[in-house]
């Protein structure tokens, strides 16, 4: 039986209390995407500033608006630090690696432990969220910001075509 210590790791509570890259950005130049967790009603906004186009474009700035629980807010905060300054391609790989850690495989493939190793994306602090998998109803909290960012990156792609 998983315990609370699996969920509320110190680093998660730190990102919850002191969220990084929090607040609204001016649109444009930033692109705003809203995400919602219909289960609990949490609403967040992901603001993206992307320089360039295509997979080599750089996420020069990212910020999070809205509110949520400790899991959704800390996951969003850690996500911003993981992708800020990285390329869109790296951001997408990080999304895939994070969702894989959450046991979500968008391409429909069965989970393989070696899959993440084959794509060496370092999740760093985000590893602290691994315990969320033991609490299935909270996976939606942890992935809210990530799904919203993925949608935002798609929208930015379409706009710059």
Partner 1 sequence: MTARHCSFSAAKVREDFPIFSRLINDKRIVYLDSANSTQKPQQVIDSMTHFLEHDYAPINRSAYRMAAEATDLYEGARTKVRHFIGANSDAEVIFTKNATESMNLIVWSWGKANLGAGDSIVLTHMEHHANVVPWQMLAAEKGFEIRWIPLTSDGRLDLSTLDTLLDGAKALSFTAMSNVLGTINPVAQMSDAAHRAGAISIVDACQSVPHQATDVVALGADLMAFSSHKMCGPTGIGILWGREALLDEMPPFMGGGSMISDVKLTGFTTAPLPQKFEAGTPSITEAIGLGAAVDYISALGMDNIRQHEIELTRYALCSLKDRFGDDIVIHGPTDVEVRGATLSFAFKDVHPHDLSQVLDESNVYVRAGHHCAKPLMRELGAGATARASFYIYNDEADVDALGDALSHVSDVFAY
Are the beta carbons of 86 and 111 closer than 8 angstroms? no
- Say how many residues touch partner 1, by CB under 8 A: 20
Indicate the DSSP class of residue 8.
S
CB-based contacts of 34-39 (< 8 A; 24+ apart in sequence):
34/66, 34/148, 35/144, 35/145, 35/147, 35/148, 35/151, 36/144, 37/68, 37/72, 37/140, 37/141, 37/144, 39/137, 39/140
Near partner 1 by CB under 8 A: residue from 1, 26, 118, 161:
1
Of residues 52-91, those binding partner 1 (CB under 8 A): 67-71
Q: Does 138 help bind partner 1 (rule: CB under 8 A)? A: yes
Near partner 1 by CB under 8 A: residue from 19, 20, 40, 86:
40
Near partner 1 by CB under 8 A: residue from 24, 29, 34, 39:
39
Of residues 10-29, those binding partner 1 (CB under 8 A): 13, 17
Nearest distance in Å: CB 83, partner 1: 24
Region of 7-15, 46-54, 78-86, 91-99 interacting with partner 1 (CB under 8 A): 7-15
Indicate the DSSP class of residue 28.
T
Near partner 1 by CB under 8 A: residue from 7, 11, 58, 133:
7
Rounded-to-integer distance, Cα 46 and Cα 66, Å: 9
Region of 3-11, 52-60, 123-131, 142-150 interacting with partner 1 (CB under 8 A): 3-11
**Helices marked H in the chain — which ranges?**
4-7, 10-17, 70-83, 88-101, 113-118, 139-159
**Contacts with partner 1, residue ranges (CB under 8 A):** 1, 3-4, 7-8, 13, 17, 39-43, 67-71, 135, 138, 141
């Amino acid at each position: 039986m998983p315990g609370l210590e699996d969920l509320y790791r110190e680093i998660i509570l730190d990102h919850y209390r002191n969220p990084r890259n929090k607040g609204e950005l001016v649109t444009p130049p930033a692109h705003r995407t809203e995400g919602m967790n219909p289960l609990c009603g949490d609403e967040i906004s992901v603001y993206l500033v992307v320089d360039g186009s295509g997979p080599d474009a750089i996420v020069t700035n990212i910020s999070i608006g809205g509110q949520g629980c400790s899991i959704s807010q800390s996951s969003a905060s850690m996500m911003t630090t993981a992708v800020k300054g990285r390329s869109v391609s790296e951001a997408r790989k990080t999304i895939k690696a994070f969702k894989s850690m959450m046991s979500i495989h968008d391409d429909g493939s069965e989970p393989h432990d070696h899959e993440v190793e084959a794509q060496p994306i370092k999740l760093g602090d985000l590893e602290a969220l691994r315990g969320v998998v033991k609490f299935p109803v909270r996976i939606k909290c942890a992935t809210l910001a990530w799904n919203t960012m993925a949608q935002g990156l798609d929208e930015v792609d379409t706009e710059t075509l």
